Amino acid sequence: MKTATPFPIENLPYGVVSTPNDPTPRCATAFEDYAIDLSRLQRDGFFNSIPGMIDGAFSKPALNVFASTPQSTQAEVRGHLVRFLEGASESDRDKYFIRLSQVTNHLPMETANFSDFYCSLEHAQNCSKIMGLEVNSNWYYIPSVYNGRTSSLRVSGQPVRRPWGVISGPGRSSPVTWSRSKRLDFELEMGVFLAKPLPAGQILDIRNAREHIFGFVILNDWSARDIQGFEMAPLGPFHSKGFGTTVSPWIVTIDALSPVECPVSIPQSPPPLPHLAWKGDSSNATWDIELSARILRKGKTYHITSTNLKDLYWTPYQQLTHLASAGEGLSTGDIFGTGTISNDRLNGVGEKSGLACLLERILPQNRLACMEIDGLEYLEDGDEVVMEGWCFHPQSGRYFGFGECRAVIVPALD
């Protein structure tokens, strides 16, 4: 069974918090129902013996300084925290433990570059069918990606405003108007925050990709489908994506995710080009992370999506390698979205439950009865989308997770 908290001792994700008594944003780790104040621990000398640890790293309003330390340093910090939390005294709890219900979460890293991928075969096939097309042949040779806008990033809990944009109806004779989006959608993805930088001019070897990843969050790539439909050709999405991207507040580190490494589930054909071919153990090519999305509307819950990160066609390691394959470099705090994580999973009554956005459910074979009965097609003002991610730790037999990635849709500006 899943634990009552996504943050047992097996997890210890990092985030940035503030409190009413201390409104200064600073670094913390989540443990059970508490945020552990890492800045205060560091001021008290808790991390002084760890080689490579940077003084004051946890007092910063972002995790970039800590994320830039060597992975060996981060592993020792994690080990110190595990031992401390397993034996914390009552006075330790009074001094360093803050109830999660009392903290305000902030974006966990300062981000210079945000990119978003399009790497689910199920998603690509469904979107192509909707447009009456075949999946482009180049999709099978490179992980498709576009550059997003860092200004779109929001931490979970912040509302997302319905955007305005240029849209038109079907057919060339339809009028073109500037209006509020009427086809607002979500996309269930994961976000990957980067740690070790790569100087511009260098090319990343996939064998070294792991050392550049700090950790994962859940990411909602909000999408205005009517705006997207008009602006996509010839340069791809812009306003249809740039108005909002919500991320969960706690970064689950790549160390914490080691027990859930797994093989890919979707064969790649044709085989990847040599620079994108995974050269490690096939059992460590990706991660087994169960993901879900639900919509809350007028007191009713609609369970829309149940999927898994391992079902992407292109893995996060391949995506990261592609990002740095032309010498652009990587920066600490950069984030990329994995792309919509759809799969072909069926629920107990034979409906497709693995589709990670509403657009794909336009196809008759992809519809859910609960949506049909209540006329749920796209998101309305006041709707709240809640995403979760969970992993099963094979050694402890317990689940750990990412917390919630949630946001309410608020009306467009007048």
* 140 annotated as belonging to a binding site for a ligand: no
Asked about 123 being catalytic, the answer comes back as: yes
DSSP codes joined into one string, 49-102:
TSTTPPTTGGGSSSSHHHHTS-HHHHHHHHHHHHHHHHT--HHHHHHHEEEGGG
Catalytic hit among 123, 212, 303, 322: 123
> Which DSSP symbol is given to 271?
P
Judged by DSSP in three states, 388 sits in: strand
H or E stretch covering 372: helix 369-374
Calculate the CA dihedral of residues 141, 146, 147, 153 and round it to 10 degrees: -120
What torsion do the CA atoms of 174, 179, 182, 184 make, to the nearest 10 degrees?
120
317 annotated binding-site participant: no
Q: Residue 38 in 3-state DSSP?
A: helix
| DSSP β-bridge partners for residue 346 | 352
Name the one residue in this structure whose structure tokens are 């576009």.
146
Q: Which residues pair with 179 in a beta bridge?
A: 165
Cα distance between residue 350 and residue 310, in whole Å: 22
245 is in an annotated binding site: yes
Name, in order, each residue with C-beta under 8 angstroms of 191's C-beta and a sequence gap of 6 or more.
Answer: 216, 217, 218, 219, 247, 335, 336, 337, 338
Tell me: is residue 118 an annotated ligand-binding position: yes
Identify whether the C-beta of residue 42 lies closer than 8 Å to the C-beta of residue 56.
yes
CA neighbor of 276 nearest in space, from 303, 310, 315, 332? 315
Nearest to 198 by CA among 206, 188, 190: 206
* Amino acid at site 228: Q
281 annotated among ligand-binding-site residues: no
Any known ligand binding at 221?
A: yes
Best CA proximity match to 147, nearest among 237, 247, 244: 237
Flag whether 42 is marked binding.
no
Which residues belong to the annotated binding site?
Answer: 116, 118, 187, 189, 221, 228, 241, 245, 340
Which residues belong to the annotated binding site for substrate?
Answer: 118, 228, 340
Which residues belong to the annotated binding site for Mg(2+)?
Answer: 221, 241, 245
Which residues belong to the annotated binding site for Ca(2+)?
Answer: 116, 187, 189, 221
Residues recognised as catalytic = 123
